[in-house]
A and B are shown apart, each in its own frame.
Chain A
Amino acid sequence: MVCKRRVGLAVQLVIALALLVPASAGAQDTIGKWVDVFQPSVLNQKQQRQELEWFKQAAEPMQGLEIKSVAEGITTHKWEAKVLAQAFYEITGIKVTHDIIGEGEVVDRVQRQIQTQRKIYDIYVNDADLIGTHLRLDSALNLSDYMKGEGAEVTNPMLDLDDFLNPEFGQDYDGNQLQLPDQQFANLYWFRYDWFTDPKYKKEFQDEYGYELGVPVNWAAYEDIAEFFTGKTIDGQTVYGHMDYGKKSPSLGWRFTDAWLSIAGVGDKGLPNGYPVDEWGIRVDGKTPVGASVERGGAANSPAAVYATTKYVEWLKKYAPPYAASMTWSEAGPTPARGNVAQRVFQYITWLSDPAFNSPDSPVTDATGKPVWRVAPTPHGKYWDEGMKVGYQDAGSWTILKDSVTGKYRKAAWLWAQFCVSKSVCLKKFLVGRTPIRKSTVFSDYLAKEEEKGTYGGIVTFYKSPVEHMWTDSGPNVPHYPLLAEQWWKNVALAVTGEATPQEAMDSLAYKMDDLMGKMRLNQYSPKLNPKKSREYWLSQPGSPKPVRSEEEPETMPYDEMLKKWKNQ
C-alpha cells in the first residue's frame, strides 16, 4: 500500500516537474525549428526569428486559449490547418482548430453567426465578395480601428499592409479594412502556348483571318481563335477552341457573378469595381444601391449584359466539347488538362497547381514536366473601355464578426490571422498553394529564378505585371451577396437551356434583384430603389448602362511581346 502510494507520488512529481520546465527554454529551439520549415522566405532568418519571437511575446496573455477558425477546402488552407496551426500552437501556446469546409457552408455559417450572434468560429476566411454585406450589416470588425486601438499591442509591427497586393478588396467605401486577404487567385485566360507559337498554325490562322495568332485582346479575336481550333486534329485527337460549363447548378452563378459582365464591359470605369455601376450592373448613389435593372439606372439587363450572356451561350454550344454544357464548375476546372482544349476564357488559377496541369505525364506539359500552357490577361468584350476592371480575383480574407467575438478571443484570432499572412510564411505558402497576397512574395528573387525556368506558366508574371490591379473581386455595391448571388444561376440557366432568350433571362434576373433589394432593411446604406424611368432615358446618359455598340475589330498580341511590354512599364 505504502509502496503504491510512493510510486503514485513519484509519478505526480515527475509530471509536476515536466510542467514546471519553463516553456521558454524550448521556445528558442521551437522558433528555430519553424524558421527552418518556413524556407524559402522573403525575410532573412534573423528577421524571421524576430517576427516569430514577436508573436510569441504578444500571445503570452492568451497562452492556453483555444480558438476556432474556418476556411474553404483549397490547398493553401489545408496547409494552414496542417502546418501553420501546429507552428502557431508551438510558438504562441494558442491552440487553433482551422476547420476546412465547403465554401457555401462557410457563407452559411457566417450568416448564421451574424443572425444569431452565437459564436461558431472566432475568425473566418471568407471571400471579400461579402464586403458590401459586412459594411451594410455592420457585422465585421473594423480592423483599421482595431489595429490603432484595442488591438494595438497584438498588431504585428512587421505586418506591412502596403505590401499586400490588393488590400482594397477588403475595404469599405471609406478605406476601412474590414477584411484582410489571406489568399487570392485570379481568373485568367488560359491557352496552349505550344500551339499558338507553332509556325504551321500561325500561318494557317494568318491566311484565314488576316491577322496574327496570339493572345486575344478582345472577344472578337477570342471567337476567331475558338472557331479556328475547333474540330482540328492535333496529336491524334479532336480539339476544341473553347472550354466552359453550363449545368444548371449553383456553380453556374459563379460563372457570372465572378465578374463575367464586367469582362464584357457592363459596368462603369473606375477601379476596383466600377462606379457608380459595378460589375454586377448594380448602381449606387453615394453608398446606397439604387437598382440593378436599366429602368432604375442599373445595367444587369443592359445591352452589354445581354451580349455577355449571348456570347457565353453561343461559345458553349459552338466551340466547347459536347460534354461541357452538362458540367459543373468543379468538373470543368481540370478539363483543359486533358490536352484537347486550345484556350479557355475563364480559368481560375487555383486549378493550375493541380498535378493534372503540371506532372510530367500530363498531356499539357513537355518532357521535363514544364507547362506548355500559359495564362494571360482575360480578353474583354466590345462594351469594355479603358479604365475599367477586366477580370475577377477571389480573395479569401480574414474576417472577425465583431458582435460574437470579443476580448482575448478576438486578440488571439487576430494574431492567428496575422501569422498566416506574415512575411515569414508567405513565400512558403505560395509555393504550396499558389495563391499570393504580398508584393514581396511575387517580386522575390526566389520566384524570379523559378519564373525563368517556366515553372508557373505565367502566374507569377501576371502578378508582377502592371495590369494585375485590374482583376478585382465583387465590390461593396452588392448589398447582400449570399441572397443576390443565388438569383444568378437560376436565371442564367434559362438562357443556357433555351427556355428564355438572353434578354429575357437578364430581365428576370435584374427585376428579381431589384425586388429583393427593395425589401432589404440593412443597418446602414440599405438599398433605396430609384423610381422607374424608360430604358431610353438611362441608355442615353453617359457611362453605364451603355447603348448597343457595333462589332469590334479583332485584336491579338503575341504572348512574348506582351511580356516585354510589361517589363518595360
Chain B
Amino acid sequence: MKKRTLGLLAYFIILAVPIYWMINTSLKTDNEILKQLTFWPKDPTLKNYIEIFTSSIWRNSFFNSIVYVCLNVLITLVAAVPGAYAFSRWKFRGDHHLFFWLLTNRMAPAAVFMVPFTELYYTMHIYDTHWAVALAHCLFNIPLAIWILEGFMAGIPREIDETAFIDGYSFGRFFRKVFFPLIAPGIGVAAFLCFTFSWIELILAKALTVTEAKPVVVTLTVGIGAEGVRWGLLAAAGVLTMVPGAIVVYFVRNYLAKGFALGRV
C-alpha cells in the first residue's frame, strides 16, 4: 500500500513538473528567464497574461480555436452516433472492411491533405473560415468517434432495442429516451478525445487559415521570430491553452472513468 502510494506520488510529481514549469515561466519576465534558473518567480509579473488579454490578436485566436473545435465536435458526434449504431447493430456486406477502412483514415498523415483541402475549400469559398478547419478535422475525428462509440454500443444488449420496439417506441424516441442515456459515457469520451485532437492539431489548422480564422496554435508559433523567443508570453499562452481542455475534462470526468473502462479506448 505504502509502496503504491509512493509510486503514485512520484508519478504525479513527474506529471506535474512541466505544468508547474510553464506556470512558473509565465509569471516571470524574459530577463529573468534568460538570466538564471529560478524555481519560482523572483519578481512575479502578470505582464504576459495582460498582454494576451489586451491583445485582440490573442483574443481572436482563442475565440477562433474554440469556435472551430466546438463545431468539429458537434459535426463529429452528429455523424458518428448513427454510424456507430449501424456498425454495432447491423451486419452488411463488407462491414468489417468498411469499419477497418474508417480507422485507417485516422492514421493518415495530415500533411498529405494540406494541398487538396486548400484547393477544395477555395472552390467552396470556405477557405480561412472556421468551417474549413472544423470539416478538415472530421477526417480524423469521425473515425475515432465511431470506433469508440461502436465499442460502447456493442456492449449494450440488443434485447434492450427489441424490448423498446415491442413496447411501442418509435426508433427516434427509443434512441432519445433509452439508448442515448446508456451510451452517454461513450459520447463523453468521444467528445473529449475529439476536442483535444482538434484543439492541438497544427498542420491543417495552419494551412487552412490565414487571418480570419487564425487559431491559437498558429499564434503561438509567432512568438518565435528574428528577435528570439518570448518565453514568458509563450508560457502564458500555453497555460491558457490548457484551460479549455481542463474545463472539458471537469465536465465529462464522471463519464471518462466509466467510458475508458467500457469502450475501445
Contact = CB atoms under 8 A, between A and B. Distances in A.
Interface of A: 68, 72-75, 97, 99-103, 105, 112, 116, 118, 120-121, 185, 330-331, 333-335, 337-338, 348, 350-351, 353-356, 359, 361-362, 394
A350 B118 contact: no
B227 A74 contact: yes
A335 B218 CA distance: 27
Nearest to A100: B222
Nearest to B221: A102
A68 B119 CA distance: 19
Nearest to A352: B227
A478 B118 CA distance: 29
A121 B224 CA distance: 21
Nearest to B57: A100
A101 B30 contact: no
A73 B30 contact: no
Contact of B226 (A73, A120, A338): A73
Contacts of B221: 101-102, 105
24 contacts: A73-B223, A73-B226, A73-B227, A74-B225, A74-B226, A97-B211, A99-B214, A101-B218, A101-B222, A102-B222, A102-B224, A103-B226, A118-B122, A331-B228, A331-B229, A333-B228, A335-B34, A351-B227, A351-B228, A353-B227, A355-B31, A356-B34, A359-B31, A394-B226
Given A101-B218, A116-B119, A121-B210, A72 B228 contact: no
Interface string B11-49: 000000000000000000011001100000000000000
Given A102-B224, A105-B206, A356 B31 contact: yes
A363 to B, nearest CB: 9
Say which size band chain B's interface belongs to: 20 to 34
A333 B222 contact: no
A103 B225 contact: yes
A359 B35 CA distance: 14
A99 B211 contact: yes
Contacts of B119: 116, 118
B178 interface: no
B123 to A, nearest CB: 10
Interface of B: 30-31, 34-35, 57, 115, 118-119, 122, 127, 206-207, 210-211, 214, 218, 221-229
Contacts of B127: 118
A243 to B, nearest CB: 13
A535 to B, nearest CB: 37
Contacts of A102: 221-222, 224-225
A354 B218 contact: no
B210 A354 contact: no
Contacts of B223: 73
Nearest to A354: B227
Nearest to B229: A330
Contacts of A101: 218, 221-222
A351 B30 CA distance: 13
A348 B210 contact: no
A362 B221 CA distance: 28
A452 B228 CA distance: 29
Kindly list the 10 A-B residue pairs having the minimum CB-CB distance in the complex, ordered from nearest: A73-B225, A330-B228, A333-B228, A330-B229, A74-B226, A97-B211, A73-B222, A99-B211, A350-B226, A102-B221
B228 A99 contact: no
A337 B34 CA distance: 10
A355 B221 CA distance: 22
Contacts of B225: 72-74, 102-103, 330
Nearest to B212: A97
A105 to B, nearest CB: 7
B54 to A, nearest CB: 12
A116 B227 contact: no
B222 A118 contact: no
